[in-house]
Amino acid sequence: MTTRDTQLAEQLSATTLLRFATAGSVDDGKSTLVGRLLHDSKSVLTDQLEAVEAASLSRGQDTPDLALLTDGLRAEREQGITIDVAYRYFATARRRFILADTPGHVQYTRNMVTGASTAELAVVLVDARNGVVEQTRRHAAVAALLRVPHVVLAVNKMDLVDYAEPVFAAIAEEFTAYAASLGVPEITAIPISALAGDNVVEPSANMDWYGGPTVLEHLETVPVSHDLTGCHARLPVQYVIRPQTAEYPDYRGYAGQIAAGTFRVGEQVTVLPSGRTSKIAGIDLLGQAVDIAWTPQSVTLLLEDDIDVSRGDLIVPSGDAPATTQDIDATVCHVADRPLTVGQRVLLKHTTRTVKAIVKEIPSRLTLDDLSQHPDPGQLVANDIGRVKVRTAEPLALDSYADSRRTGSFLLIDPADGTTLAAGMAGESFATAEAVRPADDEEGWDF
Amino acid sequence: MTTAATVHEAADNSEGSSPYALSHLDALESEAVHIFREVAGEFERPVILFSGGKDSIVMLHLALKAFAPAPVPFTLLHVDTGHNFPEVIEYRDRTVAEHGLRLHVASVQEYIDAGKLRERPDGTRNPLQTVPLTEAIQQHRFDAVFGGGRRDEEKARAKERVFSLRDEFSQWDPRRQRPELWQLYNGRHAPGEHVRVFPLSNWTELDVWQYIDREKIELPDIYFAHEREVFKRSGMWLTAGEWGGPKDSESVETRLIRYRTVGDMSCTGAVDSDATTLDAVIAEIAASRLTERGATRADDKMSEAAMEDRKREGYF
């Protein structure tokens, strides 16, 4: 077998999936890093590379521009910029990867929020010559807001600072202190040169002072499954399965993807918002009966009692039910081009439930650069992040986003045409808000 | 490490130590089932595009699992170019009958016969599918249309959402896509508009094959190596047939081949292969240096933005 055959045989045995997102401004070399990851992990196939080479040539470039691998749209290639989030797929012997490749251009916030919402890890790129800049703080703040479990700081262009350890150490220390103060649970800093290939896939011979993993090694080994025993179990009901056939005349199953925690047969459960209780009589895991199921499995729950349950309800353990409320305090990222204003009537989609709602207050708008707040902005425009108070027409069983990314998140939707207006996260914004209050901010901020 | 970069060492880096780890196939399956159920819960008239190709076969399999033991609450739609592999049509009809499903067929041939579409000089009918597809969606008032498209297939597809809103002309506007956040899919649409839904968005070709293997899903025979009369055009082995090949300058030979994709015979190329089993097919794909579409699709090579342009017009 050739090396490649061996490598590919190994890829077939890779069993887990890591979703991660990249963040970096236009000149930090993000496209080069992504191109390097794909290229050096042998995930770019001959015809794709040939297409890139041909396109690069026709643009008068003499070396293949790896950024063309990721710029999929006509307008992106014409303007040489990335407009929208794209998803990339690659695999190594250890793991499969889904990369949300988020553009660092003007619309950075909503794009990064989009990419980070499903990511278990975010790579924040910094140019070693510039160090931690406003943009870096924005990326760290978005990762913290979205509660991405792992953050990697990739200090890029180390080749342009003579691979000097003190340069890296200073940037890593500043970033780590900042991100940790925002409550980012795990931060790993890696000195790299995406252009030269140092510490991206292969360890660098130019930085023997660095003893940590390469970017790819870290992606391969970071834990993706967490201990679920302490999580609040949640099943949003998506669909009621009632065959009403001769074979299954009485089957009534509540289908959904477990949003958090674990469910067991025999467990006492409560259905929200009605508050009715029953016991789990059986769990079907896509046609197979099981005793226990956990997030993110798609399952069907069968209950002992024939109680009223429909799409939009939430099934929870009876001893661990969230409070239901019609008044939601949340942080939102505004993702639409039209503004969000106080008094606006919207739809709120939370798990499988969509209800009417009204924006009662916008107490503050956050400036990501320095985390300062602007009180009563009146409205939020595209890419703004702010606190909102929303009143819903019906009670919702909402968790804090800090407890569950899945049952603490929601969308605000324009009822007129269905436009997604804002991405919402219920409860506190940052894990340790008081620690990041700027010294000159006399009021502090009540996030 | 030499710096204080790592704030918390992960308690345990070893994989598989958690009893709650899901394999990548289980994770992809669960996500796809969630998408099917969302559509069933939110839309009035969904339809699954079903061609008898492996991606649509996997889609149907997932839909069957998602609603078991109840039947799939969707009908099927096939846009028939008229240049199909007979084995695939046979598979399509047998599968529809086996599961008691309802199949709508939109026929490119009928459009050509009625003078509503004109045959292209190159004989390729793939681009001609857009009009019959769009009109079938309007005629049946489908509001959600499942497609088997994967983001790994093509760079324009890499940009598309799982829920992709289309206007009354089925057009895709990549600059006006809704951000897709968490697993909260926004399927709201105005009358006349519909949503294209891609439950296999996050699957790769290899994932599809490994899943077919794991679930023991039957496929049309043309996916496995067999001897067939083919001729070479634009570097690809095409099957001779009534659709217009070979030309006088092209010579037919018998080769051991198989198909990586199935589609219109005029533009779907075969690859040389001796893979007669699923294991052999998976090993072959893992070692291939060509993407699925690069190896087998003539129509994607028409221009750098061929797929994007066709998608804008309403194609999948």
Instruction: Please give the domain boundaries of chain B with CATH numbers for all domains.
Output: 24-206+305-313 (3.40.50.620), 220-300 (no CATH)
Q: What is the mean pLDDT of residues A359-376?
A: 90
Q: Are both A333 and A187 inside the same structural domain?
A: no
Query: Does residue B302 carry a pLDDT above 60?
Result: no
Banded pLDDT at A134 (limits 50, 70, 90): confident
Please indicate, yes or no, if residue A310 is contained in any of the structural domains: yes
Q: Are both A134 and A249 inside the same structural domain?
A: no
The pLDDT value recorded for residue A344 is 97
Q: Which of A275, A291, A320 is the last residue of a domain?
A: A320
Query: Does residue A436 carry a pLDDT above 70?
Result: no
Task: Indicate the range of A323-337, A348-362, B90-104, B281-295 predicted with least confidence.
Answer: B281-295
Banded pLDDT at A439 (limits 50, 70, 90): very low
Please indicate, yes or no, if residue A292 is contained in any of the structural domains: yes
Structure tokens at A360: 């009662």
Cis-peptide into B246, omega within 30 deg? yes
Which one-letter amino acid corresponds to residue B275? A
Q: Are both A189 and A75 inside the same structural domain?
A: yes
Q: Are both A269 and A357 inside the same structural domain?
A: no
Q: Which is more confident, B9 or B234?
A: B234
Determine the distance in angstroms separating the CA of A319 from the nearest CA of chain B, rounded to an integer: 22
Q: Are both A59 and A194 inside the same structural domain?
A: yes
Please indicate, yes or no, if residue A445 is contained in any of the structural domains: no
Give the mutation candidate from A2, A71, A98 for the B interface (greatest B CB count, under 10 A). Answer: A98
Q: Over pLDDT 70: what percentage of chain A?
A: 87
The pLDDT value recorded for residue B71 is 94
Q: What is the DSSP string of B229-296?
A: EEEEETTEEEE-BTTTB--TT---EEEEEEESS---TTTB-EEE----SHHHHHHHHHH-SS-HHHHH
**pLDDT tens-digit profile of B3-50?**
333 333 333 344 445 678 888 999 999 999 999 999 999 999 999 999
The whole-chain average pLDDT of chain B stands at 85
Q: Which of B11, B16, B155 sits opposite A72 (nearest CB)?
A: B155
Q: How many structural domains are present in chain A?
A: 3
Range of the domain at A417: 325-426
Strands A345-350 and A409-413: antiparallel
pTM recorded for the entire structure: 0.90
Question: How far is C-alpha B182 from the geometric centre of its chain's CA atoms?
Answer: 24
Q: Are both A347 and A420 inside the same structural domain?
A: yes
The whole-chain average pLDDT of chain A stands at 87
Task: Indicate the range of A148-152, B206-210, B287-291 predicted with least confidence.
Answer: B287-291
Q: Which residues of B touch A52 (CB under 8 A)?
A: none
Please indicate, yes or no, if residue A433 is contained in any of the structural domains: no
Task: Indicate the range of A176-190, A215-229, B5-19, B74-88 predicted with least confidence.
Answer: B5-19
Banded pLDDT at B312 (limits 50, 70, 90): low
Rounded to 5 degrees, what are φ and ψ at A61?
-90, 140
Q: Which is more confident, A10 or A349?
A: A349
Task: Indicate the range of A208-222, A264-278, B270-284, B298-312 predicted with least confidence.
Answer: B298-312
Q: What is the mean pLDDT of residues A219-247?
A: 89
Query: Does residue A2 carry a pLDDT above 90?
Result: no
Q: Which residue has the tokens 């681009």?
A: B127
Q: Are both A104 and A187 inside the same structural domain?
A: yes
Q: Are both A291 and A387 inside the same structural domain?
A: no
Please indicate, yes or no, if residue A407 is contained in any of the structural domains: yes
Q: Are both A243 and A277 inside the same structural domain?
A: yes
The pLDDT value recorded for residue A347 is 98
CA-to-CA dists, residue B35 to A37, A62, A151, A262, B58, angstroms: 29, 44, 28, 21, 14
Can you tell me whether residue A102 is helix, strand or coil?
Answer: coil
Q: What is the mean pLDDT of residues A188-209?
A: 94
Strands A16-23 and A121-127: parallel
Determine the distance in angstroms separating the CA of A223 from the nearest CA of chain B, rounded to an integer: 6
Banded pLDDT at B153 (limits 50, 70, 90): confident
Query: Does residue A282 carry a pLDDT above 90?
Result: yes
Query: Does residue A175 carry a pLDDT above 70?
Result: yes
Q: Which of A278, A294, A320 is the last residue of a domain?
A: A320
Q: Over pLDDT 90: what percentage of chain A?
A: 63
Q: Which of A297, A320, A343 is the last residue of a domain?
A: A320
Q: Is B18 on the interface with A (CB under 8 A)?
A: yes
Strands A345-350 and B144-146: unpaired
Q: Are both A367 and A295 inside the same structural domain?
A: no
Whether residue A89 and residue B290 make contact (CB cut-off 8 A), yes or no, is no
Q: Are both A22 and A166 inside the same structural domain?
A: yes
Separation CA A419–CA A436 (nearest Å): 34
The pLDDT value recorded for residue A447 is 34
Please indicate, yes or no, if residue A129 is contained in any of the structural domains: yes
Closest-CA residue of B relative to A257 is B34
CA-to-CA dists, residue A315 to A297, A348, B72, angstroms: 15, 19, 24
Q: Are both A143 and A106 inside the same structural domain?
A: yes
Q: What is the mean pLDDT of residues B61-66?
A: 97
Task: Indicate the range of A237-251, A252-266, B235-249 predicted with least confidence.
Answer: B235-249
Rounded to 5 degrees, what are φ and ψ at A368?
-65, -30
Query: What residues contact residue A344 under an 8 Å CB cut-off, 6+ apart?
Result: A358, A359
Whether residue B34 and residue A9 make contact (CB cut-off 8 A), yes or no, is no
